[in-house]
Structure formats: C-alpha cells, structure tokens
C-alpha cells in the first residue's frame, strides 16, 4: 500500500491516512455581538467537503482563545459556550466521514486586528471592529502596523489560562486533536524570536526565557487535554533572517523540549514573523526543516509547503522526511485531492456512500 494511505497512530488515536488539512483562516465569522467568532454555514460546508473528499485529519483554522487573540475581527473563536456548541456540528460530521477532527488554538499577538485579506489585510481600528494589539515587546510587525502594548507577566499568565480554557472547550466540542499555534509571527512565535522579543525579564533574552511562554502554554493545555489524545504544536522553523531571528537549529533544540512536555507531533512551517523577507519558495521548500526535526529528534513531524502532487507527497513519506503531509491551498482548490491521489497511487480512501457510483475506487 502507498505510505500516504497508511493509518497513523498517536497515543490511542488512529488517523485513517497521512493526508491532512492544514489550518487556513476563512475570515467568515461575525465580528461582534452574540455571534462573534461563531462557526456558521460557510465553515460547515467548507470542512464537510474536505471530509467527504477523504482527508484523514482536518485541523480547523486558527481559532482565537480570546477576542483580542483574533487575527481579524472575522476569525473563529473558542472563548465562550456558544462558539463551542456550534463547532460540534462540524466535528460530528467529520467523524461521520471517518475524518479525525482537529483544531488549532491561537493568539495573534502584534499581528492582530487586521482586515480580511481580500480587503487588503491592513490593520483596522475600533471603528472597524478592531482593537489595540499586544505582544512581548513594543515592536511593530511592519511599517503601518501599530506598536503593540507590551504584555505584563500577569497578562502573560492570563493568556496561558485562556489557552487551557480553549483546549477544554475544544474537547467539549468533540475535537480529537488540538494544535497550539506557535508559528507565522503570532503571539507564541513572537516570544520565541529575538526579532520580536526584546524583553529583559524571565520571558526574554536567553533561549530558555524566550521559550518559557510557549512551554507554559503547552503544559497548561496538556494538563486539561486527555492523556489518550494527541497534542500538536505548529512552528515556523526559521524566520528567514540572516541574524537576530529564530533558526532551524533553534527549532531542533526546541522540538526535543516540546516532546518532553507532552507534544506528540510538530507541524513544521516557516516564516511570518518578519516583514519584507525574501523566501525561496519552490515545491516542498519547507520539507527539509521537517526532515531535520524528524532525523535529529524523536518527535514526529508533518510537512507542509507547496506540496501539490500525490507522487511528491508519497516520496516525502517514503524518504522518511515526515510522518504526514499537511495540504493547504491545494485542498482549497480540490476538496477531493485524497480521492484523486488514491486513484493514482492505488490507495484506499473513504468515499461517501452517496458518491459510490462516481468512484473508481470501489
């Protein structure tokens, strides 16, 4: 059998194949009022289609642990009971299709309070449902972005608690995987990097101090997340800066610590913490970073980044460069990527009974 279609077990959870959906914000929730951050028909239809298409694991988009933790006012949230209840409709359907439901919990930090990408993605103020962002240090993400308010140690601890509350709600909503978002220049990633973290207290300076907040979040989440279910962590393996940024060496070192703190898989991406950086993109350009973690630590990894062809995905797994493949934009283009890949590689994947007559797999 194709490796891409082999089940994968973490703790007591078995995911039916190695084709997973990466978190991708939809910017489609209400920005304020009782429906703020609530999943609606768009979210259901979006994720349901990928489950019907045979995707083994779906990680819901960055879901904010607080109103101020959203990237845009239109992001999903998981800070109240109403949000939690509406997410169960999605998890129930994903499970009915044999897909493992996962969710990424997140805080945007200094990159929060921005408009939807198709509206330009610029920072927005209170008049457009926005707020004043916060971060580890008063360092703006880019020209034209506000200088964030530096978080106090008490505020940091409050956010740690918000991540734990979000994980508890995720379990109530029926998710079986929770992923802590530590990538792409959002709050946890901001603490990790010298580029954005200029603190001189226990949360800045040394590697140990800069990773402290991330590990406190992981510990708090792991304390409320059941032992039999896996915990993921998403990381930007490099800031793509020549100096004064987070590096691949840092990632390998940190991965070993994450494993010690109960993380079961590292979702390896790159970039997002520095503006104007030139990134040498090409098919699979981020795979070598995942491969380093896999080869130099005992922590399983998922690879992501311009992986579009089934044969390429299969080769990554066969070469032991990753344990699973996370697809992003390719699944936006083709919700049935897994079924098409199965035809080409001779794999077996879930096809809904209602679509039985259209399938060459049965």
Three-state SS at 259: helix
Strand partners for 327: 21
Do residues 55 and 331 touch, judged by C-beta distance below 8 A? Answer: yes
For 209, 245, 279, the CA distances from 287, given in Å and listed in that order, are 28, 20, 14
Cβ contacts of 354 within 8 Å, gap of 6 or more: none
C-alpha span between 318 and 320 (Å, rounded): 5
Do residues 3 and 18 touch, judged by C-beta distance below 8 A? Answer: yes
C-alpha span between 46 and 194 (Å, rounded): 37
**In which residue are the tokens 């954005």 written?**
196
Per-position DSSP letters for 92-155, written without gaps between them = HHHHHTTPEEEEEEE--GGG-SB--GGGT--B--GGGT----EESSS--SSTTSPPPEEPPHHH
Of these residues, 27, 47, 186, 336, which one is catalytic?
186
- The yes-or-no answer on residue 285 being catalytic is no
For 57, 63, 98, 232, the CA distances from 26, given in Å and listed in that order, are 18, 10, 23, 21
Catalytic residues: 186
């Amino acid at each position: 059998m194709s490796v891409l279609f082999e089940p994968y077990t973490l703790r007591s959870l078995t995911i039916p194949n190695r084709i997973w959906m990466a978190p991708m914000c939809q910017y489609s929730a209400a920005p304020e009022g009782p429906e703020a951050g609530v999943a609606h028909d768009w979210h259901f239809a979006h994720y349901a289609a990928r489950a019907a298409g045979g995707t083994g694991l779906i990680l819901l988009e960055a879901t904010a642990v607080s109103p101020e933790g959203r990237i845009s006012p239109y992001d999903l949230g998981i800070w109240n009971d109403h949000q939690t209840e509406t997410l169960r409709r999605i998890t129930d359907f994903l499970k009915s299709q044999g897909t493992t439901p996962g969710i990424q919990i997140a805080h945007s930090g200094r990159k929060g309070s921005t408009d939807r990408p198709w509206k330009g993605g610029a920072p927005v103020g209170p008049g457009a449902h926005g707020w004043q962002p916060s971060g580890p240090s008063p360092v703006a993400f880019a020209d034209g972005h506000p200088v964030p308010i530096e978080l106090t140690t008490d505020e940091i601890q409050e956010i740690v608690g918000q991540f734990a509350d979000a994980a508890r709600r995720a379990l109530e909503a029926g998710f079986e995987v929770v992923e802590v978002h530590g990538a792409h220049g959002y709050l946890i990633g901001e603490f990790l990097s010298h580029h954005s973290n200029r603190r001189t207290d226990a949360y800045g300076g040394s590697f140990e101090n800069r990773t402290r907040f991330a590990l406190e979040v992981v510990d708090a989440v792991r304390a409320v997340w059941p032992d039999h279910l896996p915990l993921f962590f998403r990381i930007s393996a490099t800031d793509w800066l020549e100096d004064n940024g987070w590096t691949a060496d840092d990632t390998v070192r940190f991965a070993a610590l994450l494993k010690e703190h109960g993380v079961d898989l590292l979702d390896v991406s790159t970039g997002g913490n520095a503006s104007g950086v030139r990134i040498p993109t090409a098919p699979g350009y981020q795979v070598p970073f995942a491969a380093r973690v896999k080869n130099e630590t005992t922590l399983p990894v998922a690879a992501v980044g311009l992986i579009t062809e089934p044969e390429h995905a299969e080769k990554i797994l066969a070469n032991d460069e990753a344990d699973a493949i996370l697809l992003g934009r390719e699944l936006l283009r083709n919700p049935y990527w897994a079924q098409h890949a199965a035809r080409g590689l001779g794999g077996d994947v879930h096809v809904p009974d209602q679509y039985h007559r259209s399938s060459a797999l049965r």
